[in-house]
Amino acid sequence: MALSDVVLTEVMFQYEIKQDGEKAFILFEGSLSLKDSPKLSTDIKSLIESEKIRELVLDFKNLSYLDSSGVGILLRTYSWTKEKDKQVRIINLSDEVRTIFTIANLLDIFQLKEET
């Protein structure tokens, strides 16, 4: 196979926000990187600022990767929720992202659950 025959596809990042009573769920898909961080950070901050939301649940089932900016968003999310006396929880951590969490010493910070 020649190099010209190889097609590289960028793993897109997207997320969906669902609300259920006092909980907001963010379902992540793809690869979270620096270019996706500003909008995600703004949306998370808005959810945390909302009087209706008491708990933020981040579902990483379909998240394949996050870079240092993604880790930064998670740490800010943790700080913002603590300031507002709210909870943040991560569920369905993939093996790939679990490795990143282990390296960054994030496993002890977040309440992790395998399934909802």
Gap between the Cα atoms of 22 and 28, Å rounded: 20
- What is the pLDDT, as a whole number, of residue 6? 53
Better-scored residue on pLDDT, 99 or 116: 99
Closest CA to 61 of 24, 95, 101, 94: 94
What span, in angstroms and rounded, lies between the C-alpha atoms of 41 and 49? 12
pLDDT of residue 96: 87
Taking a C-beta distance cutoff of 8 angstroms, is the pair 29, 13 a contact?
Answer: yes
- Kindly report the backbone phi and psi dihedral angles of residue 30, in degrees, each rounded to the nearest multiple of 5, phi listed first: 100, -145
pTM: 0.84
Contacts of 65 by beta carbon, 8 Å cutoff, 6+ apart: 11, 31, 32, 33, 96, 97, 100
